[in-house]
């Protein structure tokens, strides 16, 4: 079977749009994870226990979890250009306030604001990608943007550690806050909600984007068909919960684990954390490209996403298992690095599924999907903090392994169907076995 040539990204306006989104994803993750590197110093300075620190981290995830759907739907309504510019400025303000925190409650308040503003970011960015990225590059687009997010993860410990050494933990939040505001201004200048409105758009590139990306085919004001959308996305939401639970372990507790278990100082645990998280940069891109390659060779889209999800979740589970036993720093580092690589094979595919299933409502669909990650972010840091205080690190790692196993089962059996608009009617699945319902405009 001859492989289809994927749609080009170089020398296209969409390539610049994707680059801007990569920068945003990196900044967003630096803003949300810089606290993990600073946490040991924040705890000492403000007198926090591990349980209190868990509440601080979970404060971000609370609004992030429950406003994903709302944020994605609003972003689809008012457009990614305006929505992303606004929320980037606001999460920069939230990061700034984190640096000015004086106690537990002010820290929680700043993190709540950060979660509130970032809740709309990735679903709205997914809506932008649905309009700007050819369908055959959905996995690649989600993979490369989330690779940028993981690069932000990997750089954050080194950047934050350097700033802490030079000027204290508060300075790290003040510096990265400025990056968000600068990006917002550039985004407003570069991006347009409809590709056809961009001054540098060509007729050739517009034709490459397909019918959903043209002014006549966008249908921005069509009401979101929740009745049809929820049954297709809900199983993906559960898989995203299992994935997200373990991801939050890496993003939140990795520096503390390395510091507590192996007695590493800030330079040591920052370096090891960065090495481990760099594996996610590779994993995200590889996961998206592999599933796109299966599709390009004539494979079924749903099967392609599902296979990579099962491989990723299964590999992460196996590689976490050595941490249930006493291990040297070298063994633990290798196990964590491989586990994070496999885990991040899943990320692009989880985000590509809403684009595959409901490209017209991908903001709302991806918000529903990523609610699983958000809920995991509420529960995981608190549960980890409590379990660490009570019994050490074995129990929380064991719980993560169990949730990964449950996610593997659901991922293998889920079959999300396409949701699309045909002649003013929402159609679910193929033409022969579709369910329909008219949606008001």
Residue 169 lies in a domain: yes
Q: What is the pLDDT of residue 14?
A: 83
- Residue 52's contacts (CB-CB under 8 Å, 6 or more residues apart) are 43, 104, 385
Asked if residue 357 is part of any domain, the answer here is yes
Rounded-to-integer distance, Cα 161 and Cα 35, Å: 11
Residue 4 domain-assigned (yes or no): no
**pLDDT (tens digit, 9 = 90+) per residue, 254-294?**
777 888 778 777 777 778 887 888 888 888 888 878 877 77
Q: How many domains does the chain have?
A: 1
In a domain, 6, yes or no: no
In a domain, 5, yes or no: no
Token representation of residue 155: 């750089």
Q: Which residues contact 130 (CB under 8 A, 6 or more apart)?
A: 212, 355, 359, 360, 362, 363
- The range of the structural domain enclosing residue 56 comes to 13-438
Domain of 267: which CATH number? 1.20.1250.20
Whether residue 214 lies inside any domain: the answer is yes
Residue 371 located in a structural domain: yes
pLDDT by residue, tens only, the chain of 441 residues: 344 556 666 678 888 888 999 999 888 888 777 777 777 788 888 887 777 877 887 788 778 777 777 777 787 778 889 999 999 999 899 989 988 888 888 888 888 898 888 888 888 888 888 788 877 777 778 888 888 887 887 777 777 778 888 877 888 788 888 889 999 999 999 898 888 888 888 887 777 776 554 443 444 456 778 888 888 899 999 999 999 988 888 877 777 788 877 877 777 777 888 788 888 888 888 887 887 777 777 667 777 888 899 999 999 999 989 888 867 888 888 999 999 999 999 988 898 888 888 877 777 888 888 888 888 877 877 787 788 777 778 888 888 899 999 999 999 998 888 787 766 677 777 432 333 343 333
At residue 2, the pLDDT reads: 42
- 131-180 residue pLDDT tens: 888 777 777 788 888 888 878 877 777 777 788 888 778 887 888 888 89
| Per-residue model confidence (pLDDT) at position 38 | 79
191: in domain: yes
């Amino acid at each position: 079977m001859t492989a289809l040539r994927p749609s080009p990204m170089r020398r296209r306006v969409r390539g610049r749009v994707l680059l801007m989104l990569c920068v945003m994803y990196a900044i967003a993750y630096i803003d949300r994870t810089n606290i993990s590197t600073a946490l040991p110093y924040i705890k000492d300075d403000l007198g926090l226990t591990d349980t209190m620190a868990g509440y601080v981290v979970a404060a971000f995830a609370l609004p992030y979890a429950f406003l994903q759907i709302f944020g994605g739907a609003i972003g689809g309504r008012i457009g990614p250009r305006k929505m992303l510019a606004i929320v980037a400025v606001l999460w920069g303000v939230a990061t700034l306030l984190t640096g000015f925190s004086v106690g537990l409650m002010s820290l929680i308040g700043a993190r709540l604001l950060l979660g509130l503003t970032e809740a709309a970011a990735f679903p709205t960015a997914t809506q932008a990608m649905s309009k700007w990225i050819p369908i055959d590059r959905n996995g690649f687009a989600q993979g490369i943007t989330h690779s940028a997010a993981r690069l932000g993860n990997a750089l954050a410990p080194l950047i934050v550690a350097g700033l802490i050494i030079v000027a204290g933990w508060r300075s790290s939040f003040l510096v990265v806050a400025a990056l968000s505001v600068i990006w917002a201004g550039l985004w407003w200048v570069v991006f347009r909600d409809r590709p056809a409105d961009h001054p540098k758009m060509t007729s050739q590139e517009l034709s490459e984007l397909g019918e959903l990306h043209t002014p006549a085919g966008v249908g921005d004001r069509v009401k979101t068909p929740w009745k049809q959308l929820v049954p297709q996305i809900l199983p993906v939401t559960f898989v995203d919960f299992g994935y997200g639970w373990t991801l939050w372990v890496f993003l939140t507790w990795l520096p503390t684990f390395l510091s507590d278990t192996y007695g590493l100082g800030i330079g040591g645990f920052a370096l090891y954390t960065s090495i481990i998280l760099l594996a996610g940069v590779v994993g995200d891109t590889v996961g998206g490209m592999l599933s796109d390659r299966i599709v390009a060779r004539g494979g079924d889209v749903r099967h392609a996403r599902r296979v990579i999800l099962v491989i990723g979740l299964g590999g992460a589970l196996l590689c976490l298992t050595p941490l249930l036993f006493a291990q040297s720093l070298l063994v633990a580092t290798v196990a964590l690095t491989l586990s994070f690589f496999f885990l991040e094979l899943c990320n692009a595919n989880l985000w590509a599924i809403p684009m595959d299933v409901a490209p017209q409502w991908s903001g709302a669909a991806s918000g529903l999907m990523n609610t699983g990650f958000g809920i995991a972010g509420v529960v995981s840091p608190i549960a980890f903090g409590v379990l660490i205080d009570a019994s050490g690190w074995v129990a929380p790692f064991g719980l993560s392994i169990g949730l990964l196993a449950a996610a593997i089962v659901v991922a293998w059996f889920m079959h999300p169907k396409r949701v699309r608009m045909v002649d003013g009617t929402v159609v679910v699945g193929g033409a022969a076995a579709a369910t329909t319902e008219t949606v008001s405009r």
